[in-house]
Amino acid sequence: MKVREVSIDAPPALVHAPWRAAFPWLIQGCTTRGPEPERPFDLGLFSDASPARHVLEHWQRLRAATGQTRVVHAQQVHGANVRFHLPGPPGLHICETCDGHVTAEAGVLVGVSTADCVPIFVVDPKKRAVAALHAGWRGAASGVLERGLEVMQESVGSDPARIHLHLGPAICGDCYEVGSEVFEALEQPVPANPAPIDLRAVLAQRAVDAGVAQDQITVSEHCTRCGESGLFSHRGGDRERQVGYIGIRA
C-alpha cells in the first residue's frame, strides 16, 4: 500500500500519519532538508557536507523534538549487521559500524542516514519493539531486511506475521537506473542494458517472503530525486544526509 507521509516542523520531517494514529506510543519519521536553504538540516555525521558543530546541533534538535533521552546511530557500510539496543547514558550514542538498529526500550531513538537508499521502519505492536534499517542495493542483497526481522525475533520474540513494515522516502523506480550487476545481486531478471529498478518493490517482496503480511507493508510515495519533498539525493548531487528515525515514547 502506498503512503504519502505528511510534513511536520519539529523536527523538519515526513511522518507516517496512519502509523501515528494507530500507534500513539510510537515516534517515527524521516527528516528533510528543512526551511533554511543556507543551512540545511543535515544529519550526516560521516559525510563532511556541513560543519560538525551544525550536524551535532541538528542531532540535538532531533532528540529534543522527539522527547527521547538517548539517540543511537552508526557509521553504515551497506551490509547486514543489525544491533539490538538496551538503555544507556543519555545523549547521542555512536555504536560500532552497522546498518540497522532494534530496540524495545522507551526513550531510545534509533536512526539510519540516507540520501537515496531506503530507510526501513519496522514495528511490532504486540512486543512494542521497533527497528530502523538502512538498505541500499548492496544492503538489500546482503539481507539487511531479513536480518532485522531475525534480530527482533531473537531479542524480543517478534513474529514476522504481526510485523508492520514501512519502506520510507527513497529514490523511486523511475529515477534509479542501474547496471546488470545490481539486478543480478538482487536476483531480478537481468536487462541487456542499464535500466531503472524499484528497490522498494524488491524489498517489499523480500518482506513478504520473510513472513510479513502484504497488507501490513506500506511504501512511501516520496522520491529523493524527483518531486518537491525536500529530501537530500546523492544522485542529485547532495552530500548531506537525512535520517530515518523510530522509537518508543518515554
Buried b (16+ CB within 10 A) or exposed e, 21-38: eebeebbbbbbbbbeeee
State whether residue 92 is helix, strand or coil. strand
Question: Which residue bears the cell 518508543?
Answer: 248
Would you kindly state where each structural domain of the chain is located, as residue ranges? 2-240
Question: Which residue bears the cell 538502512?
Answer: 134
> Hey, what's the cell of 85?
539496543
Q: How many helices (H) and strands (E) does the chain have?
A: 6, 16
Per-residue pLDDT of the chain (250 residues; tens, 9 = 90+): 999 999 999 999 999 999 999 999 999 999 999 999 899 999 999 999 999 999 999 999 999 999 999 999 999 999 999 999 999 999 999 999 999 999 999 999 999 999 999 999 999 999 999 999 999 999 999 999 999 999 999 999 999 999 999 999 999 999 999 999 999 999 999 999 999 999 999 999 999 999 999 999 999 999 999 988 999 999 999 999 999 999 999 8
Cβ atoms of 246 and 30 within 8 Å: the answer is no
Strand 217-220 with 2-3, pairing: parallel
Strand partners, 178: 195
> Hey, what's the cell of 83?
544491533
State whether residue 183 is helix, strand or coil. helix
The confidence score (pLDDT) of residue 7 equals: 96
The confidence score (pLDDT) of residue 227 equals: 83
Is 0.85 surpassed by the pTM of this model?
yes
| HSE value, Cβ hemisphere, 13 Å, CA-based, for 196 | 9
Cβ atoms of 132 and 110 within 8 Å: the answer is yes
In Å, how far from its chain's centre is CA 28? 10
Strand 91-95 with 26-31, pairing: unpaired
The number of beta carbons lying within 10 Å of the beta carbon of residue 70 is 22
Residue closest to 13 by CA, chosen among 232, 235, 249, 195: 232
How far is Cα 89 from Cα 30, in angstroms, rounded to an integer? Answer: 24
Q: Which CATH number fits domain 2-240: 3.50.50.60, 3.40.50.2300, 3.60.140.10, 3.30.1240.10?
A: 3.60.140.10
